[in-house]
Amino acid sequence: MSIPPDVLLGEPLAADPTPDPPSGASGGASRAGALWFYARKLLAAVVSFFITLVIGFVLFQLMPADPVRALTQGRPTSAAQMQALRDSLGLDKPLWQRFASFVGDTLHGRLGFSWQFQEPVASLVGSHLWPTVLLMGVSTVISVSLGLWLGIRSGWRQGSVFDRISSGVSLTLWSVPTFWLGLLLLVAFSVGFGPIPSLFPADGMSDPSIAAAGWPHVVDVARHLVLPVATLVLGDYALYVSIMRSSLIDEMDSPYLLTARAKGLFDSDVRRKHAVPNALLPAVTVIFLQIGGIIGGAVTVETVYSWPGLGYLTYQALKVPDLPLLQGTFIIFSASVIIMNLAADVLYRFLDPRVRAQ
């Protein structure tokens, strides 16, 4: 064993010039870093929401259609009456005054008054929110589960027959326009086509002849859900297949997987306990953004199937155009995406140590 020279000379070893900081200081710095991280993300969300308000207002104010002419179409209306209606709707005010009123009402939770339905926008959104959450919630759960399952197995067996078939089918369905796919399913399984009889309802959320309570109503709503949910799942699950497959392929040659295999772990354990948790990180953001889109709904699918959700409500507002209703639904759609994006950032801090180190 070698002896340090300074010990042979009878001199003490040099002390470490940088003593370890007390544990309390380290914990305080960690908490300060976390608070700064959350403050930055919250500020970014607030700025994004304000920019959304500006974009939403300018976008709908620049629409070429005249709401007054659309509301009075087919009715004998004099020029004086049209001007009075224009004044009552506030369309005669300067643009900056309308924007100030729009921002102030939004910050106070007032989304305006629908010109078309003659109801507060908030009550219209509330009455159409549950059908959209039901439709998009069911389709998102199925799409995420199916897409991640197929993506994991395709990525783990890259180049296999299963991988080629799964990737080919998912990409083909992803490239099909949603409205066209919805019309095909509507013709095939609702109207009937050749030997295929009419199996599912064509429109709406429920049959008015069935009482809105009990198991018959639940079964009726489930039958109305089948075709819209199938359209959304077939069009969306490919996104999760692609992301999960590519993320898992990127992890395949990582050193930690070689170490896990060297320890004698089964291939299934290596995939489940090591590869998949790390490959899931890129998919978290996409999943949360899709969850944010649940509130927005799918305008195309809800319109094709006349599903009484926020998407179909937005389509009805576009026909006038009903500017307060369009602005209100636009705010709800955008706010849900911003909130879910903020939640994804917060969750990332718990899932990824690299984010905690920032």
Please write down the HEC assignment for all residues of 215-273: HHHHHHHHHHHHHHHHHHHHHHHHHHHHHHHHHHHHHCCCHHHHHHHHCCCCHHHHHHH
CA angle 208, 205, 334 (to 5 degrees): 140
pLDDT class of 6 with cuts at 50, 70, 90: very low
Amino acid 296: pLDDT:
62
Burial string for 263-301 (b: 16+ CB within 10 Å, else e) reads eebeeeebbeebbbebbbbebbbbbbebbbbbbbbbbbb
The 8-class DSSP code of residue 192 comes to I
Count other C-beta atoms under 10 Å from residue 323's C-beta.
24
The 8-class DSSP code of residue 13 comes to P
pLDDT class of 352 with cuts at 50, 70, 90: low
Weakest mean pLDDT among 20-24, 187-191, 193-197, 285-289 = 20-24
Of 87, 80, 100, 60, nearest to 334 (Cα)? 60
Helix (H, G, I), strand (E, B) or coil at 142: helix
Amino acid 4: pLDDT:
47
Q: When comparing pLDDT for 218 and 31, which is higher? A: 218
pLDDT, average across residues 178-197: 80
Residue 7 amino acid letter: V
Token pair listed for 335: 């706010």
Compute the radius of gyration of the chain from its Cα atoms.
29
pLDDT, average across residues 78-89: 71
DSSP 329-354: HHHHHHHHHHHHHHHHHHHHHHH-HH
The whole-model pTM stands at 0.73
Q: Decide if pLDDT at 289 tops 50.
A: yes
pLDDT, average across residues 319-343: 84
Q: What is the 3-state secondary structure (H, E, C) of 41-72?
A: HHHHHHHHHHHHHHHHHHHHHCCCCCHHHHHC
Token pair listed for 277: 């948790």
d(CA 191, CA 201) in angstroms, rounded, equals 9
pLDDT class of 303 with cuts at 50, 70, 90: confident
Weakest mean pLDDT among 7-11, 60-64, 122-126, 169-173 = 7-11
d(CA 171, CA 179) in angstroms, rounded, equals 17
pLDDT, average across residues 301-322: 85
d(CA 323, CA 321) in angstroms, rounded, equals 6
Amino acid 73: pLDDT:
66
d(CA 129, CA 68) in angstroms, rounded, equals 28
The 8-class DSSP code of residue 1 comes to -
As a dihedral over the C-alpha atoms of residue 2, residue 4, residue 9, residue 12, rounded to 10 degrees, the angle is -140
Helix (H, G, I), strand (E, B) or coil at 113: strand
Q: What is the mean pLDDT of the chain?
A: 78
Q: How far is CA 257 from the centre of its chain?
A: 32
Amino acid 311: pLDDT:
86
Chain segment 44-68, per-residue pLDDT in tens? 888 988 888 888 787 776 665 666 6
Percent of the chain past pLDDT 70, that is, above it, reads: 81
Query: Regarding the domain delimited by 123-356, which CATH topology (the fold level of the hierarchy) does it fall under?
Result: MetI-like fold (1.10.3720)
